[in-house]
Structure 1
Amino acid sequence: MVGFGIENGHMWMTFAVICAAVVLFAIDRIPLELSAGLTVLALLLLFYFFPLPAEAGKTEVNVTTLLAGFANPVVFTILSLLIVGQALFQTGAIEKSTEIVTSLVKIAPAAALGVTLLVAATLSAFLNNTPVVVIFIPILSALAARLGQTAAHVLMPLSFITILGGMTTLIGSSANLIATAVAEKAGAAPIGFFDFAVPGVFLASVGALYVLFVIPRIIKPSPAFSQASGERGKQFIAQIQLGETHPWKGMRSTAGMFPNLKLMTVRLVQRRGRAILPPFEDLELQEGDVVMIAATRRVLMNAIARDRALIGDLAPSVNAPETDDTLQTPPERERLIMTEVVIAPGSQRIGFTVNPERFKADTGCTLLGIERHSRMMRAPMNKIRLVAGDVLLLLGTPGAVRSLRNHRDLLLLARSRAELPVPHRAKSAIAIFLIMVLAAATGIVPIAIAAMAGAIAMILAGALTLPQAARAFDRKIFLLIGTAFAMAVSLEATGGAQFLAHGVVETFADWGPAALLSALFLLTAILTNFLSNHATGALFAPIVVSAANEIGVDPAPFIYGLIFALNCSFATPIAYQTNLIVMGPGHYRFRDFMFAGIPLILIIWVAYSLFAPFYFGMQWRP
């Protein structure tokens, strides 16, 4: 066994760097990007000034191998999938899917989320987890928004539950296949497709209870995401003028409301100078009516995206010349931006009523709605006098929105800019997405190729623009992947992983098969959150087979335990590809995975430690 001598200094220094990195990631006192950069730099300096002699069968540690993770196919796969997901959001392609899910489950709102997650878990038992997660991210995000929740409450459970589903069959995870293949080479009997389905389903069921009922209650969105979610939940008062061909013309009220106007509240209908207040008894909307509604920004955005005739002549002209956008492609020129501005203190607009036509002439943007913190207004816009602090919801071309910075009376709110969805390109986006998933799931091409082809096809089809695609990139994910690979290379090359594994075997071999199985399970589960589960599986498979043979027991329970432990990739975002995929859309921090994932690892560990002796007839003592 490796000792504590100076000849093993590389290993101990690597342990120190990895421990320091985990602490930096967990405390979140400095930006995660900086912590990742410092970790990689520390490893580069360590092996540059103190080179590790190359040994047969081990990877040489140098600048090239330490930085190779940044060029790994996983990087391009995940970033491409983020672009594809952004295209689905941008086109509103998943709205119909969300409506189907909500219509199928009407018993309780939470049931829709639970059923959707269980479907994802079932699929992941037979398909690669990555396309399953990619399919369900937009559906669950939209479903959560409809149920008044944030994406943070559903996306981590989505990743975790697909990982749990993947531990139930031989093909549920590529790590399962690698571990069993290496175990067979070490002399173990072949593992069948459903050989470990019973303990796998048991563990997945136990873990699913925690994922479905505990994680959504303990995960809190990051402060920035909470603020953004609160802003999206604001109710704006919008004025809709009905023209001759307006889509609302002829709409009739039922039971005092307008049921066709989903998620909108009609607060006033002005007809020929007369105000009609709710409840509206058998009222049919007519040409010339002015309808005052209350709705959130997202509802207004989706409604206008589906039919720009909703705002009639006030709709911005997408063909207006853009002085600094001469190189725009047609899809870029047709896009519209929704943003928010605040009436500044001392603004010349304070005390004046709102005139949408004049406002558009002054700013080039359409005034969609007004939000006032003090009260919900019930009056036509031409009777609302602006006060300092009023929030105006605007729609305009990219150039018009940029020009708002020159208006001293209006303060452009940070992070309020969002492109209007382009639903007429939704069919193209769905087709590209399905082809990408089919190609990856059937193995026609590697998932890295399928994802990159899908991302490029989305841009070429106009589902999103190049600037939108660039904003879909997440530098945190990019740096985390590269850092994870650098740590894994260092840990393997210095013998750190082997040192820990053999230490556990020597310590617990005399304690009996059940105790040794439990100890190996826990160590594997810990290491798989920092090494790749492929590398961990290849490393531990011969060790668990040898350990079982040494104490004279069947290696099968040890191999099954190895498979389940390899799938306990819950404690860090770098542990599994799907964790990285949901990290951006869910706005999770590194410590969020530790906070929610470590208890799940302990639950699975305890569950198998108790289940295995009973199911396989193992003893705790020799």
Structure 2
Amino acid sequence: MVLLPIDVHMWLTLALTVVVMTLFVTEWVSLELTALGSLATLLALFHVLPAVGADGTQLVTSADLLAGFSNPALLTVLALLVVGEGLIRTGALDSVAHWTAHPRLSPSASVILTLLAVLALSAFLNNTPVVVIFIPILQAMAVRLNVNASRVMMPLSYAAILGGMTTLIGSSTNLLVSSALIDQGLSPLGFFEITAPALVVACLGMLYIVLVMPRLLPERASMASHMTHHGKQFISQIVVPSDSHLVGEKAVAGAFKSLPNITVRVIQRGEHAELPPFDSYALQAGDTLVIAATRSALTELATRYPGLLHPPRRPGEGDRTRDRLRDNAEETPQPARRDKSENGDNGRAAPSEQVMVEAMITPSSRLIGPNLQQLAFRQRYRCLVIGIQRRARMIRASMTQIRLEAGDNLLITGRQSDIAALGQDRDLVVLSGTTGTLPQRHHAVLASTIFIVAVGLAALGVVPIVVSAIVAATLMVAIGAVNLRQATRALDRKILLVVVAALALGQALEATGAASFVAHSALGLFKDLGPAVILSMFFLLVAGFTNVLTNNACAVLFIPVGINLAEQLGMDPHIFAITTVLAANCSFASPVGYQTNLLIMGPGHYAFTDYVRAGLPLLLLVWLAYSLFAPWYWGL
């Protein structure tokens, strides 16, 4: 154990903060590993080189750094995720969705009403499941309007973000900032304390979303259609059978006659990978063709040559997945057993009975990381993945070897009953082609009542929000709205680990004086400009960082700086806390700042630049509106 001057700990903490923020932005390693690594580094640093105050007490202990695991705000967030899962699984929100899509309403009115409903729901529910529910609804509305889905998907995500600003429980960010105030010995934020300024920026933001944003968003899918034969392209693969007509065929001008409207990107023959152009390159039995094609082209190929898109089974593949199937039996409805005469010897559904759907990997999905072979997807779901589409990127790799990521679109075929079971799985969002399975509607009224009572008691201040949220989550499990396995899966590990690590880093920044140092330095630059300008610049700084960090990490890292700025300016710390809340929720200018932005990237066919083009003006509008409203509202 070595004692060092407190300044050394301050600089070490600031250096670690820079490293962590860089890793969060670049994602050179996963967010979870970065969070765990930063937590482990802090624990080791302050154990080996303890920071000791003037009175001889240790300023940062292991208990302080690990206190995030029992943080009331984090526990509230996790409990509300379970409550939201219960509302979704009971179909309690379906009536709202059907109401906004009423056939008597004009399509444009339905879109506006849907966005307003999303705004209202997101004020009281985690906005990620809200967006998941409304993605297929807005897809259908886009078809009715005869407009591209890119015109409505980004407004959906941004309406949910704006709604999450308006109440204490609207976003995990809001709860974490309120908890940080408690940790500093200050009073927490009231349930509706942030509502007035948040409604001002939310209303202006909604006007921009409805009137201006659709004009800025490109016809992304229409451009893709022109270039790729009317549709976005999926990565797929073909293993050339020995009796196939493809054996011996040669490419002409880089294309194979038997594979119309299909681009062959790689031909894998044993250990050798042949890249384009393939002129005079004759195909052989056993060659694996990595192809890029639209959904319509793959559908035609699967219809003309049944089984060609089916990857070969590996020996013993079914045995290795028996345990996985048993683990999923409680959650996934299993279709009736079918004999060989119905399915054929290989258990595949007859082509006439198959349906094809697109499904998207959710941010908290258990499918993220492994590839399709490692997941044994065909055995797990009794469905076949015949294509993968990764946002705006195309990759040169065998489809079965691509490690799945959040936001990936999978093109899946299977029987209607198996697709219906797939639609209920929370690891995937079925985007089209199926209505999914029927929810447990007999619990819908009771689940809604539990939610409304929990929110009402917290809003009236009868019980703390952490108490009402945990009790509500427990009741959701007790009435059977969700089972324990489903409740556990609703807990997002990224939120848990990133928030705990950010809280630990924030604790170190505060205890070592790093937060005070940053605040004092910033104040020295802008002290002559007045509190209103300093508040505005602080908002813009946090709003900028939240588009490259996660919103939770950004809020937790900046709230100590904001509190110190308030103290040095002689202002109410709640003013800077509310500023931090609103700014940290401004994840408009990039897809990485917030999960809902990632969710709509695939259905909207967006590129990174689309978020900058449409989201940056919204961020600047919110900043300008708050900068004008806040001085008047608080009399600065």
TM range (shorter): 0.5 to 0.7
Of 342, 354, 357, the match for 1:370: 354
Q: Which residue is equivalent to 1:485?
A: 503
Q: CA deviation at 1:102?
A: 0.8
Which has the higher Rg, Structure 1 or Structure 2?
1
Structure 2: distance between partners of 1:166 and 1:218:
33
Indicate if the aligned counterparts of 2:161 and 2:586 stay in contact, CA closer than 8 A: no
What corresponds to 2:63 in structure 1? 64
The residue type paired with residue 146 of structure 1 is A
Query: In structure 2, do the counterparts of structure 1 residues 402 and 55 end up closer, same or farther at CA, with 3 Å as the change threshold?
Result: farther
1:173/1:113 CA distance change after superposition, 3 Å? farther
How many Å apart are 1:53 and its aligned residue? 1.4
Partner residue, 2:106: 107
- Among 130, 134, 138, the alignment partner of 1:144 is 138
Q: CA RMSD in A?
A: 6.0
Matches within 5 A, 1:531-546: 540=562, 543-544=565-566
CA distance in 2, matches of 1:489, 1:333: 40
| Structure 2 Cα separation of the partners of residues 481 and 143 of structure 1 | 32
Q: Which amino acid aligns with 1:12?
A: W
Match in the other structure for 1:162: 163
In structure 2, relative to structure 1, the CA distance for the partners of 1:445 and 1:196 (3 Å cut) is closer
| Residues 77 and 448 in structure 1, CA contact (< 8 A), matched pair in contact too | yes
Work out whether 1:547 is the aligned partner of 2:565.
no
**Aligned in 2, Cα 1:9/1:534: closer, same or farther, shift over 3 Å?**
closer
Mapped to 2, the partners of 1:58 and 1:123 lie a distance apart of: 47
Partner of 1:359: 342
Alignment of 1:506 with 2:528, yes or no, is no
2:225 maps to 1:203: no
> Given that residues 540 and 562 in structure 1 are in contact (C-alpha distance below 8 angstroms), is that contact kept between their aligned partners in structure 2?
yes
CA distance in 2, matches of 1:593, 1:18: 30
In structure 2, how many angstroms separate the alpha carbons of the residues matched to 1:217 and 1:616?
A: 36
Separation in 2, partners of 1:77, 1:219: 40
Asked if structure 1 preserves the Cα contact closer than 8 Å seen for 2:85 and 2:490, the reply is yes
Equivalent residues of 1:182, 1:542 under 8 A apart = no
The offset of 1:161, in angstroms, is 0.8
| Aligned residues between the structures | 451
Residue in 2 aligned with 1:14?
Answer: 13
Q: Distance in 2 between matches of 1:219 and 1:13?
A: 48
In the aligned structure 2, how far is the partner of 1:231 from the partner of 1:467? 35
TM-aligned CA deviation for residue 435 of structure 1: 0.9
Could you list the per-position Cα deviations for residues 17-51 of structure 1 after superposition, in whole angstroms to 9, with x for gaps in the alignment?
A: 22222221222233222222222233223222221
Moved more, 481-490 or 509-518: 509-518
Q: TM-score of the superposition, structure 2-length normalised?
A: 0.53
Aligned to 2:514: 496
Does the alignment pair 1:49 with 2:31? Answer: no
Contact 1:517 1:561 in 2 (8 A): yes
Partner of 1:388 in structure 2?
Answer: none
Residue identity matched to 1:160 = I
Identity %: 26
- 1:140 deviation in Å? 2.5
Q: Counterparts of 1:179 and 1:473 in 2: how far apart (Å)?
A: 22
Q: For 1:36-435, what aligned pairs fall within 5 Å after superposition? A: 36-54=35-53, 60-103=59-102, 106-109=105-108, 111-119=109-117, 121=119, 129-131=123-125, 133=127, 136-137=130-131, 139-147=133-141, 149=149, 153=154, 156-166=157-167, 197=196, 201-209=199-207, 214=213, 217=217, 332=330, 335-336=333-334, 358-360=341-343, 369-370=353-354, 401=382, 418=422, 423=438, 425-435=440-450
Q: Note closer, same or farther for the CA distance 1:519–1:361 as it changes in structure 2 (3 Å cut).
A: closer
- Supply the distance in 1 between the matched residues of 2:332 and 2:183 (Cα, whole angstroms): 55
- Corresponding letter in the other structure for 2:115: L
After TM superposition, give the deviation of residue 177 of structure 1 in Å.
Answer: 8.3
- Rounded Cα–Cα distance in structure 2 between residues aligned with 1:535 and 1:17: 12
Q: Matches of 1:536 and 1:602 in 2, distance apart?
A: 19
CA distance in 2, matches of 1:483, 1:220: 38
Unaligned stretches of 5+ residues in structure 2: 143-148, 222-230, 237-294, 297-321, 358-377, 386-399, 405-409, 413-418, 425-435
What letter corresponds to residue 205 of structure 1 in structure 2?
C
CA contact (8 A) 2:180 2:559 kept: yes
Determine the structure 2 residue equivalent to 1:250: none
Query: 1:160: Cα distance to partner?
Result: 2.0
1:420-474 CA-to-partner distances (Å, cap 9, x unmatched) read 5553622314522431342133226544454445555555555555554454443
CA drift of 1:600 comes to 5.1
SS of corresponding position for 2:333: coil
C-alpha separation in 2, matches of 1:521 and 1:474: 28
Deviation for aligned residue 1:527: 8.6
CA contact (8 A) 1:83 1:472 kept: yes
What letter matches 2:494 in structure 1? K
- The amino acid of 1:509's aligned partner reads K
Equivalent position of 2:241 in the other structure: none
Give the equivalent residue in structure 2 for 1:33.
Answer: 32
Residues 84 and 454 in structure 1, CA contact (< 8 A), matched pair in contact too: yes
Shift of 1:100: 1.0
The match for 2:282 is none
Distance 1:81 1:194, change over 3 A: closer
> Aligned residue for 1:436?
451
Q: 1:46 to 1:105 in 2, by over 3 A?
A: farther
Equivalent residue of 1:131, what SS? coil
Instruction: Report if aligned partners of 1:488, 1:532 keep a CA contact under 8 Å in 2.
Output: no
The answer to whether residue 622 in structure 2 is matched with residue 604 in structure 1 is yes
- Deviations 1:189-211, CA, capped at 9 Å, x for gaps: xx9x89994x6654333434455
Amino acid paired to 1:131 = L
Q: 1:129-181, CA deviations, whole angstroms, 9 ceiling, x for partnerless residues?
A: 443747844543442343365997466424421244349x9xx9679989999
